[in-house]
Amino acid sequence: MGLFDFFKKKETAPEAQEALDKGLEKTKDGFFNKITKAVAGKSSVDDEVLDNLEEVLVTSDVGVSTTLKIIKRIEERVAKDKYLNTSELNFILRDEIQLLLSENNSNDFRQFEYGDHKPYVIMVVGVNGVGKTTTIGKLAHKLKESGLKVVLGAADTFRAAAVDQIKLWGERVGVRVVAQAMGSDPASVAFDTLQSAVANGEDVVIIDTAGRLHNKIGLMNELGKIKQVMQKVVPGAPHEILLVLDASTGQNAFEQCKQFTEATDVNALAITKLDGTAKGGVVIGISDQFRIPVKYIGVGEKIGDLQLFDKKEFVNSLFK
């Protein structure tokens, strides 16, 4: 059984759906207000409507490249069926966004399993302030609630606050934390965490890392060293490199994704703070442009408000 199955056993669909709908309210309101204005007074989908729709998508932080793909698809449908009217536009737009996301990530999280790795090692990266520590804490809570033994490694030794925050989350959710003094070698913390996880028979290791981008070479070297050291204890580790991005930063999230994917082999994304922003379109754009699965989304401040990302449910909620 994969970790995904544990998540689904515990998380009832109505509760998760309600939290998702609520978390996307600001994005949904902004998005539909703009679309309503874009089609005002129009009875059919013409060039002007498409131009206005393009502007709506770009200003909703979907991103230029992804927006152009969506508009091209809608143009093709309009050319095929000359009688499309503006009342059908929402349905067409929803379909095309769902199709685009499905094509980009064939390994949707519904089929994703962590396999036979024990311990399964997750290295978490991202700049300070994006909700990295909170995501780690909430993920640890979900996994522990599911019956898995989890340990956290406080390898962001650059900031004293980061180590303290991880310790607080460990106490809050009842999972073990491995930490050293501030300024310690991050790779040493990661090494100790994995060694103790193996000795204690723990299922999942989550390693926090320093969130600074001012020197990409330094970041690459540090993350590379952490990976090398972990592989001495658990061959193939880390199994997942999870990049945490803050949806409310809009286009800046695209730039952070670009920087981190150049610095290390990111293979999973968590997009946080969707409930506090109207910029939820970044989920669509980043998923499309970087072809990295969005695995988790943060839709609220409660401990249970970290969700598995489901493309279909996300887009349906956006268009409700």
CA distance 146 to 4: 10
Q: Are 63 and 289 in contact (CB under 8 A)?
A: yes
Over the chain, what HEC string results? CCHHHHHHHHCCHHHHHHHHHHHCHHHHHHHHHHHHHHHCCCCECCHHHHHHHHHHHHHCCCCHHHHHHHHHHHHHHHHHCCCCEHHHHHHHHHHHHHHHHHHHCCCCCCCCCCCCCCCEEEEEECCCCCCHHHHHHHHHHHHHHCCCCEEEEECCCCCHHHHHHHHHHHHHHCCEEECCCCCCCHHHHHHHHHHHHHHHCCCEEEEECCCCCCCHHHHHHHHHHHHHHHHHHCCCCCCEEEEEEEHHHCHHHHHHHHHHHHHCCCCEEEEECHHHCCCCHHHHHHHHHHCCCEEEEECCCCCCCEEECCHHHHHHHHCC
272 is in an annotated binding site: yes
The number of angstroms, rounded, from the C-alpha of 294 to the middle of its chain's C-alpha atoms is: 4
274 is in an annotated binding site: yes
68 is in an annotated binding site: no
Say if residue 36 carries a ligand binding annotation.
no
126 appears as a binding residue in the annotation: yes
133 is in an annotated binding site: yes
Q: Is 211 annotated as a binding residue?
A: yes
Tell me whether residue 210 is annotated as binding. Answer: yes
- Note whether 282 and 258 are within 8 A (CB): no
Q: Is 209 annotated as a binding residue?
A: yes
Q: Rounded to the nearest 5°, which phi and psi values hold at 268? A: -155, 150
265 is in an annotated binding site: no
Would the annotation count 132 as a binding residue?
A: yes
Annotated binding site for GTP: 126-133, 208-212, 272-275
Annotated binding site: 126-133, 208-212, 272-275
